[in-house]
Amino acid sequence: MAQARLNLRNVTTLLVDRDHFTRSLVAQMLRGFGMDTPTVLETAAQAKHHLMHHYADLCIIEGALPDMPSADLIRWIRRQEKSPFRFVPVIVMSGYTQLRLVSSARDAGANIVVRKPLSPQGLFDRIAWVARIARPFIEAGDFIGPDRRFRNVPPPDGKLRRETDEQSDQDAQDISSAAAE
């Protein structure tokens, strides 16, 4: 079966990471995916300023920014009720020493978290996931963000994922079956 295509041309991406080299690395991957050159920034303050004046279709944010945890930036994004970027998909990149921040980023409303080191396959699959799997946004109490109860389905063509996800796919079906019972 032919693989489905994903058209990421003209997608405007905001990439925020403290490290210059990591920013270049991710930007290169994105260009390889056919995306336009992302806007690359270093701090949460710069990201906030950028979002207030420009739009982004996708935000890719490091777990621990130099001026605040990514969770605070995501929380700020999700609370901008009148702004078009409130529902923007946010992917958080977690460094090895930032893994403890993963749950706080998720609690703040991140769409998905990806661990560094990044692989092109891993990053592409997650972009494909947030682009193709619609998740409702929940606003309840302190939480504003995508529904954290994953719909455990692969992307529509079943191809846009890692080979190692096959087991996860089986597991996901098991979860769905258990939930249905």
Partner 1 sequence: MATRAKKKVHFPKTRLAELAARAGGLTRDDAVDGAMKSLESMTALANAEICKSIAAMEKIVFGSGATLDAAAMLAIQAYADQVVTLAGTFGHTTLDAAARSLCDMTDGLQRAGMHDRQPIAVHVQALHLMAPGAMSLSPEHCEKLLGELAKVAGHFSFGSLAAESSLDDVEIIAAAAK
Nearer to partner 1, 49 or 159 (CB): 159
Q: How far is the CB of 152 from partner 1 (least distance, A)?
A: 6
Nearer to partner 1, 24 or 49 (CB): 24
Q: How far is the CB of 48 from partner 1 (least distance, A)?
A: 20
Nearer to partner 1, 44 or 58 (CB): 58
Q: How far is the CB of 41 from partner 1 (least distance, A)?
A: 18
| Helix (H) / strand (E) containing 45 | helix 44-53
DSSP labels for 99-135?
GGGHHHHHHTT-SEEEESSP-HHHHHHHHHHHHHS--
Interatomic CA distance for residues 14 and 60, integer angstroms: 6
Cα 175 to its chain centre, rounded Å, is 23
Query: Which residue, chain included where needed, has tokens 């080979």?
Result: 163
Q: How far is the CB of 117 from partner 1 (least distance, A)?
A: 3
Nearer to partner 1, 45 or 130 (CB): 130
Of 57, 22, 24, 18, nearest in space to 41 by CA: 18
